């Protein structure tokens, strides 16, 4: 028996009982597989969410940069155009065009603000994802502790069941031995009675030797002593 495999000792017969493969391994493996699959699923979901939010954040950032460049270019164009038109158009046209350009600029600024808002939302979502990942790590550690506690509890149950089963087997063997001994004692008494009736002591001794050999064959580990003459066997 390997020194690394857990065993228990029967309190009755002191027999070493191996637990790992015969009793504990299936239960431990099933519990571990169930929790490992659940943890792997949670980690995969968290990773997928992180990739999604990172992709969205990158897209928003790129869109913001592109929009800002377009806004700057358009602003520069509009400024140049407004400056050129100011010298060419009448004063009544100047106010109208200026208002139009201002409106367009305001709209572009609003679009930029919306992009900034979406980027802030994406950053907040990424921060929330990081908090969830930390919570998942905490839950994983708690789950590992729970698994260890359950495994230890299951091992205790398995050990107790093994001891109880072994004790029950020992008790049944003792009862069977006692039943056989009682039956043989009755046979001895009957044989002695017959031997005494026939006044044949030698025949009785031969029969006792035969029964003694029967005892030794059935109970090789027990010590079988001959019954002294003049005494009743027991």
* pLDDT at residue 223 is higher than 80: no
What percent of the chain has pLDDT above 70? 71
CA distance 96 to 100: 6
Residue 132: inside a domain: yes
- For the segment 136-141, the average pLDDT, to the nearest whole number, is 85
Instruction: Say whether 96 sits in a helix, a strand or coil.
Output: helix
Which among 195, 194, 185, 192 has a CA at the least distance from the CA of 215? 185
Sign of CA dihedral 216, 218, 222, 227: negative
Q: Cβ neighbours of residue 74 under 8 Å, at least 6 residues apart?
A: 104, 108
Residue 101: inside a domain: yes
Which among 128, 90, 200, 111 has a CA at the least distance from the CA of 136? 128
Q: Is 230 left (phi over 0), alpha (psi -120 to 50) or beta?
A: left
CA distance 218 to 225: 14
Task: Report pLDDT digits (tens) over 91-116.
Answer: 666 667 777 888 888 888 888 888 88
Task: Report pLDDT digits (tens) over 23-77.
Answer: 666 666 776 888 888 888 888 888 888 888 888 888 888 888 888 888 888 888 8
Residue 135: inside a domain: yes
Residue 211: inside a domain: no
Residue 203: inside a domain: no
pLDDT number for residue 144: 83
Full residue range of the structural domain in which residue 142 is found: 18-173
Residue 93: inside a domain: yes
CA distance 212 to 155: 45
Residue 91: inside a domain: yes
The pTM for the full model equals 0.27
- HSE value, Cβ hemisphere, 13 Å, CA-based, for 73: 6
pLDDT number for residue 80: 82
CB atoms closer than 10 angstroms to residue 51: 10
User: What total number of domains does the chain contain?
Assistant: 1
Residue 200: inside a domain: no
């Amino acid at each position: 028996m390997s020194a690394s495999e857990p065993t228990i000792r029967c309190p009755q017969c002191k027999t070493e009982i191996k637990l790992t493969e015969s009793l504990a391994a299936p239960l431990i493996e099933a519990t571990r597989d169930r929790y490992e699959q659940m943890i792997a699923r949670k980690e995969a979901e968290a990773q997928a969410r992180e990739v999604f939010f990172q992709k969205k954040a990158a897209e928003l950032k790129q869109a913001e940069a592109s929009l800002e460049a377009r806004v700057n270019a358009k602003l520069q164009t509009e400024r140049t155009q407004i400056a050129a038109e100011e010298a060419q158009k009448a004063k009544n046209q100047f106010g109208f065009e200026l208002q139009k350009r201002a409106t367009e600029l305001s709209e572009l600024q609003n679009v930029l603000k919306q992009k900034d808002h979406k980027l802030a939302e994406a950053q907040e979502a990424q921060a929330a994802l990081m908090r969830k990942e930390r919570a998942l790590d905490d839950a994983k550690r708690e789950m590992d502790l729970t698994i260890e506690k359950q495994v230890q509890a299951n091992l205790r149950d398995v050990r107790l069941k093994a001891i109880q089963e072994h004790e029950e087997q020992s008790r049944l063997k003792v009862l069977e031995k006692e039943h056989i001994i009682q039956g043989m004692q009755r046979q001895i008494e009957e044989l002695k009675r017959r031997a005494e009736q026939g006044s044949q002591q030698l025949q009785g001794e031969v029969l006792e030797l035969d029964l003694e050999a029967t005892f030794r064959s059935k109970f090789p580990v027990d010590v079988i002593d001959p019954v002294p003459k003049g005494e009743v066997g027991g």
